Structure 1
Amino acid sequence: MTESIVSADSPVSQGVMLKYGIGQLGAQIFRDTPAVLLPIFMITMLGIPAWLAGLAIMAPKLWVVICDPLVGSFSDRLESRFGRSPMLAVGAVASSIGFFALFTVSDFGSPWLAAAVVSLTFLLAQTGFSAFSVPYLALAGELSSDTHERTKILVYRMIFTMIGLILGIGVAQPMAEWFGGGRYGWMAMGAVLGMVCASTMLTTAFSLWGFRAPRKVQEQVGMIEQLRRAWRNKPFMMINMTNFFQSIGSSCSFSVVGLIFIYSIGDISLLWPFMVAMTVGSLLSQPVWLAKSKRYGKLPVFVFACIAWGLVTLSWLALGRFGDSSWAVPLIGPMRIEVILVMVRAVLIGVFNSGFILMAISLFTDTLSYGSQPDQAPQEGSLSGMWSASEKMAFALGPLISGAVLSLFGFVSSTGGAIAQSQTAIDGVILCYSVIPAAIVVMSLACLRSYSRFMQDEPTVTR
């Protein structure tokens, strides 16, 4: 049963916001679980060297640089007749099957062959995911023409983002151990989370079936013209470039978060409470970010969240300074100071990370109609495809950078699970999780120097 949405100019109900947001749960699992666990799976279970694992993951994401804009262009043409839901449904099924297949790779006796098979499987899965993620992002700008209401819609999306983070990062690796570990454990984890991806993404597809943004379309433009329009949309190019660099930084940290808990913290069981604490910080802060963006503007809030996140991320350099010292925590008892600080960082990371991600996507939706006319062909899909392509490209570069740094610092791969590493190798893990992502995220703000000027000069366009 679908809920009718008459117009993007009418208020969006809480039910529609909820049904839109739930699709992000599966999408986040698909995006983050391979980003975090696939390198670990390849390095510790298939014996693939860290640098080669980074290349194997990067190759399929190079394809989406072409695939996502093509999907976005096709989605715009399809939207004028059927809406975007058919593509959402196809993408949900294809990416869920691909997710399961990623963690069912057998031992081929050669790390090179294993890397090639994983890379090909990932390429097919990423193609299916493009069919969902690109039109899904386009809907964020089409459901409402009000800038603050779009931010509220994205708050729902962010809530399910954090739930997806818990399942995709905090639960996925322990789940593989719950199922007995080894390759069977990884395969069972892939099956369970693959079903979660399918059910949540299909819920969005069928709940919004038939919705079409009201517009008069008098033209159909090709891919080249859409690229030209995107280039002329300077605010879009600025926020897209900013998000590209920030995604590189985030993916650098994502690709080694499991290694941080295994080697630097020394307790992988803390990953689950870490993700829970991060999610709590994110969820509790959403009303605050929404209120502050209305009061101070999205851009200043975005800049603040980025800088604050960078400072918290740099604090990982102090990991281990307190050794085995403990504090007496009320209702809990003695707890290592290092563990307390890890949990504090988790909450703060959740608060600031969700803040700058929410503002980035909301700023992006504000640029979708920049320079367009009421009777112009839709461009939400094509711009969403370019945004998605650059983001996925960034998430390919992150593991490549981290893999190269780990190899440079002497990290040793294995086939039977995690093995002992040198202190130099562990220092490389911390570098990939702290200094590199913090520096990239803060420096990316330089791309937004003229964003406000362009958006202030833009006349209001009624669709």
Structure 2
Amino acid sequence: MTQAIESTADQAVISTSKVPLITKLLYGSGQIGGQLFRDAPAALLPLFMTTMLGVSAWVAGIVVLVPKLWVIICDPAMGVWSDKLKPHHSRRPFLAVGGLLTGLSFMALFSFSEFSSPTMAAVFIGVLFLIASTAFSAFSVPYLAMASELSSDAHERTKVLSVRMIFVIIGVIMGVGLAQPLVYKLGGDAAAWRTMAILFGGICVVAMLATAFGVPRNFGQISQDDPRKLLSRFASVKENKPFMVLAATYLVQTVAQACGYAVVGFIFLYAVADISLLFPFVIVMCTGSMLSQPMWVKLSGKWGKEAAFWVACTGWMLITITWLWVKPGDDVLMTLPGWGEMSTEHFLVLCRAVLIGFTNSGFALLVFSLLTDVIDKQRQNKGTVDEGLFSGFFSATEKLAFALGPVLAGAFLSYTGFQSSTGGAAEQAPEAIRGMVLLYSVVPAAIMAVSLLIFTRYKRAMQSM
């Protein structure tokens, strides 16, 4: 079957502007695995370490941070390496090997729970996560680079990325909406965590290999090697002011998201006090994301990508603040067929889900579309561009953000009195629960506001390029 897909894909006629639907779908499918690996460890690894392994919240944050610091070096290096080998081998070897090892590493992360001490557990998980992060770097950097290579038309690239967003949504449903409820549905013990890891790790492998062997290998191929030296390649990134502004914006706003991911499980366990609501929340949020995609593509064409990006970020920030008032439901607002009784608070949680889905999908789509524009303008102005190197730096900012988020969250949770445990979730004091709520509302909204201040420099930087 793989050979058949590969043969069909390699015979495809590549256009410099219009991208065939099958190519869009095969490219987008890899994001299921990418999103699973990004979201599930961000949302579940701190929870797994603090409730199953007895690791302190602040130590769990450090465990996530160290491998993410490594990818600041690893991602650009993978980008340069894939750029160098692309003329001869395409980006396929990186996608295939990286995808396979990412899935296997994901399985291992949640499959071990017997350690002599929390310290040993933290060290072991840290080493595993370092290996997993390196494997994911081998896949994610070339994967992101391909987005700017699939078409020379800016609006067509937005369409490609909007299809990719559908697979982002599927990955979010699995990694955030299904993974944790599945663990607790299976009993919440070590075997339950291991079953979840094997299932979703296998999905990672299949999704990533579909991209590796499905997208034509000659997309974006160049006929000759690039003679530029390594230092001159790195200098081209630093000299690209629009890229630096966009990367800084993305870093800060992803820290905002990462804070929320780090405590989303805690929010539904303690603040909402109904873990079963997490899956409906994610489904409703993702439905809003999917339905809004045509709207954001249309608005980006009508208003411009920058204006649409502002609207999406501002909307997300305002909705996020409203989590400050979340609390357990203690009334009956309505009775729904197949659902049963729904409280007012639970109804408001689902209302937030729709609005978060609309706004989050907007800026998540547009920030990557803006990235492809920056790379394309570099290509037009300089005659050459290292898509992998630029993508590597951009990818490193995301991974650094998803390291800083858990560190910030872990330190804040420890400060507000969160109590770690082994064998399952423990009861928490009101102050600790209040800390979780602040980390899911005011803190990320404030950080998002900082990212928009940085983004005010983007337009001028783009004009001066």
TM-aligned CA deviation for residue 375 of structure 1: 8.0
Kept in 1, the 8 Å contact 2:75–2:137? The answer is yes
The 5 A counterparts of 1:179-218 are 179-215=186-222, 217=224
Does residue 311 (structure 1) correspond to residue 318 (structure 2)? The answer is: yes
TM (normalized to structure 2)? 0.95
Structure 2: unaligned runs, 5 residues or longer: none
The match for 1:84 is 91
> Which one of the candidate residues 251, 254, 264 is aligned to 1:244?
251
Query: What is the one-letter code of the residue matched to 1:418?
Result: A
Would you say the 8 A contact 2:324–2:437 is kept in 1?
Answer: yes
Question: Which of 71, 78, 81 is the equivalent residue of 1:74?
Answer: 81
Distance 2:266 2:248 in 1: 29
**Which one of 29, 38, 48 corresponds to residue 55 of structure 2?**
48
Q: Deviations over 1:185-229 (max 9, x none)?
A: 101110000100000100010001422315454633343222210
SS of 2:227's partner is: coil
Deviation at 1:334, TM superposition (A): 4.7
Aligned pair partner of 1:408 in 393, 411, 415? 415
Alignment deviations for residues 60-116 of structure 1 (CA, whole Å, 9 cap, x no partner): 110000000000000111111121111100100111111001011232121111100
Q: Name the counterpart of 1:121.
A: 128
For residues 373 and 161 of structure 1, what CA distance do their matches in structure 2 show? 30
Other-structure match for 1:99: 106
Question: How far apart, CA to CA, are the structure 2 residues paired with 1:218 and 1:127?
Answer: 26
Match of 1:32 in 2: 39
Residues 40-67 of structure 1: per-residue CA shift (max 9 Å, x gap): 0000000000000000110111000000
Whether the aligned pair in 1 keeps the contact of 2:95 and 2:208 (CA below 8 Å) is yes
Q: Are positions 1:383 and 2:390 aligned together?
A: yes
Partner of 1:325: 331
Contact 1:215 1:374 in 2 (8 A): no
CA RMSD of aligned residues (A): 1.7
2:304 aligned to 297, 302, 306, which one?
Answer: 297
2:457 is aligned with what amino acid? S
Aligned residue in 1 for 2:282: 275
Q: Which moved more, 1:238-247 or 1:371-380?
A: 371-380
CA contact (8 A) 2:87 2:223 kept: no
2:351 alignment partner, one of 341, 344, 347: 344
Indicate conservation of the 8 Å contact 2:152/2:376, yes or no: no
CA distance, structure 2, for counterparts of residue 100 and residue 163 of structure 1: 19
Question: Is 1:368 matched up with 2:375?
Answer: yes
Indicate which of 124, 141, 146 corresponds to 2:148.
141
Query: Unmatched 5+ residue regions in structure 1?
Result: 459-463
Paired amino acid for 1:84: R
Indicate whether 1:418 and 2:425 are aligned. Answer: yes
Q: Distance in 2 between matches of 1:296 and 1:329?
A: 42
TM-score by length of 1: 0.95
> Is the Cα–Cα contact under 8 Å of residues 302 and 355 in structure 1 kept in the other structure?
yes
Contact 1:91 1:131 in 2 (8 A): yes
The one-letter code sitting in structure 1 at the alignment partner of 2:25 is L
Is the CA contact 1:7–1:214 (under 8 Å) kept in the aligned structure 2?
no
Contact 1:72 1:135 in 2 (8 A): yes
Contact 2:329 2:346 in 1 (8 A): no
State the shift of 1:447 in Å.
1.5
C-alpha contact (below 8 Å) 2:84/2:226 kept by paired residues = no
1:118-145 superposed Cα distances (whole Å, 9 cap, x missing partner): 0000000000000100000000110001
Q: Which amino acid aligns with 2:362?
A: G
- Find the counterpart in structure 2 of residue 354 from structure 1: 361
**Deviation sequence 1:11-46 (CA, Å, 0-9, x none):** 111111011101101110011000000000000000
Instruction: Summarize the Cα distance change of 1:346–1:373 in structure 2 as closer, same or farther, 3 Å threshold.
Output: closer
Residues 372-381 or 407-416, more deviating: 372-381
Residue number in structure 2 paired with 1:172: 179
Q: 1:461 maps to which residue?
A: none
Rounded to whole Å, the distance in 2 between the matches of 1:359 and 1:137 is: 14
